[in-house]
Amino acid sequence: MVESSAEAATALSPLLGYETVSHLVKKALKEQRPIRELVGDRLTTAELDQALAPTAFFVK
């Protein structure tokens, strides 16, 4: 899974929007919490897993 802030922001922006993801990443860094934990109920576990999967970053 891609969990660092930069990769998570790239993966989640199309799903949640830039403003929301920006806020989540800042909070994750400040509180030293995983972005996955902060997404909460905005996405299902399956959607989050798919978005943060390393294969999601490769053009098919």
* Per-residue model confidence as pLDDT tens digits over 1-60: 556 777 888 889 999 999 999 999 999 889 988 888 999 899 999 999 998 888 777 766
C-alpha span between 54 and 29 (Å, rounded): 21
Residue 7's pLDDT is what?
81
Residue 54's pLDDT is what?
80
Length of the chain equals 60
pTM: 0.78
